[in-house]
Structures are given as structure tokens and as C-alpha cells.
């Protein structure tokens, strides 16, 4: 069966490669949007939209994996920063505080669909201004929810992670692997 990742995220690609999965990348054309209500449900619904959109553009027997990640601080979604100033504001707000990371994952295949979401709580240490400025000037925050990547220099921001580390990177790989394994799609 052909497996397709409906995301161009280099982090998701890297994570899936860690488990030895053979897959193609066909990014979804879905415009990311925020819904009202439960954050986990929101990312799960968006992940399903992305997976279905790519499924409907492809053929043959296939499994499409869609995903969406958001950072939530004080019940507000911090998406990908629009500019350097917003990235800096995000990081200063998160400094010394706790926030949640939600990732929704959806699978669509020829005879079914399944989705779930994962929540991870992240505690930041107090960030010196010079660290925030250096990180933002690197450009790294610009394509990441909440304006940071736990896998790059942003790793030093993190004091504690409660939950799935890979969820913070954008894909809770343990649960993804478990689903693929139980279906017989991971060998």
C-alpha cells in the first residue's frame, strides 16, 4: 500500500523516517484555520481535512496521513508567527510559563478513516532577552507553531515536558506507529 504524508513539514518527514516508514510527501492545499471549541478536536478536524484533501487528489490503494499542531497559552492559540516581532512576543509570553501543544493526526485509506489528538504540556524556563533575539534573528521560529522548535536552539527554552516529546515536534510518533502496526501497514 502506498503511504502518503499530507504535509511538507520537515520535522514530520524526519519523525516518520525514524521508524523506517516508506512514504511519499504530497502537501495538503487546505488553508489552516481556527475553529471555536476544544483545541484537541480543532486540530483533529483540521488533520482530517488535510488527509481527505490529499486522498481525493490521489489514486490507487493508499493511506494518507494528515496532521496539524497548535500551541495554546492561556486558552489562546499561538500559530506560526507572521513576522519577527510576533515571534519575539510569543517567546516572551511563554517565558517562565507553561503551555500546551496539541497535535491532531488523521488517517484516510480506501476503506476507512481514523483520527486522534495528543496533548503535551511544556514548561519554559525564564528566557533572557538576548537568547530570544538571537533565536528570532535565526529565522527558525517562522514556520513553527508558537514560534519555537524543541528540536533546535529552542530546546534550551524547555524546562520540562509532560507528555509525548515528539508531539511537540508535530507528530506523536508512538501512537502513529501503533496504529500502523495494528493495521499491518508498518513492517
- Which pLDDT belongs to residue 14? 96
In this predicted structure, the answer to whether residue 124 has a pLDDT above a threshold of 80 is: yes
Tell me which of 31 and 174 has the higher pLDDT.
174
| Mean pLDDT on 85-103 | 97
- Whole-number percent of the chain with pLDDT over 90: 94
pLDDT class for 108, splitting at 50, 70, 90? very high
pLDDT digit string, tens, across residues 12-35: 999 999 999 999 999 999 988 777
Q: Which residue ranges make up each domain of the chain?
A: 2-183
- Which pLDDT belongs to residue 187? 78
- Whole-number percent of the chain with pLDDT over 70: 99
In this predicted structure, the answer to whether residue 38 has a pLDDT above a threshold of 90 is: yes
Angle, helices 84-94/129-137, rounded to nearest 10 degrees: 140
In this predicted structure, the answer to whether residue 87 has a pLDDT above a threshold of 90 is: yes
In this predicted structure, the answer to whether residue 164 has a pLDDT above a threshold of 80 is: yes
68 belongs to the catalytic site? yes
Across all residues in the chain, what is the average pLDDT?
A: 96
- Which pLDDT belongs to residue 23? 97
pLDDT class for 169, splitting at 50, 70, 90? very high
- CATH class for the domain made up of 2-183: alpha beta
- Which pLDDT belongs to residue 33? 79
- Which pLDDT belongs to residue 32? 81
In this predicted structure, the answer to whether residue 37 has a pLDDT above a threshold of 80 is: no
| Mean pLDDT on 153-169 | 97
Catalytic residue among 68, 75, 83, 129: 68
| Mean pLDDT on 65-72 | 96
Amino acid at each position: 500500500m502506498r503511504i502518503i504524508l499530507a504535509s511538507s513539514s520537515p520535522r514530520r518527514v524526519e519523525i516518520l523516517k525514524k521508524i523506517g516508514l516508506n512514504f511519499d510527501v504530497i502537501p495538503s492545499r487546505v488553508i489552516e484555520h481556527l475553529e471555536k471549541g476544544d483545541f484537541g478536536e480543532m486540530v483533529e478536524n483540521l488533520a482530517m481535512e488535510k488527509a481527505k484533501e490529499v486522498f481525493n487528489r490521489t489514486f490507487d490503494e493508499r493511506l494518507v496521513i494528515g496532521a496539524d499542531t497548535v500551541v495554546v497559552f492561556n486558552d489562546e492559540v499561538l500559530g506560526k508567527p507572521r513576522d519577527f516581532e510576533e515571534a519575539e512576543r510569543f517567546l516572551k509570553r511563554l517565558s517562565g510559563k507553561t503551555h500546551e501543544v496539541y497535535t491532531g493526526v488523521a488517517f484516510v485509506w480506501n476503506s476507512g478513516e481514523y483520527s486522534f489528538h495528543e496533548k503535551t504540556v511544556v514548561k519554559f524556563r525564564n528566557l533572557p532577552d538576548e537568547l530570544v533575539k538571537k533565536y528570532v534573528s535565526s529565522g527558525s521560529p517562522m514556520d513553527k507553531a508558537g514560534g519555537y522548535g524543541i528540536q533546535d536552539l529552542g530546546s534550551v527554552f524547555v524546562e520540562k515536558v509532560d507528555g509525548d516529546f515528539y508531539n511537540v515536534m508535530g507528530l506523536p510518533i508512538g501512537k502513529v506507529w501503533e496504529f500502523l502496526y495494528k493495521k499491518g501497514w508498518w513492517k
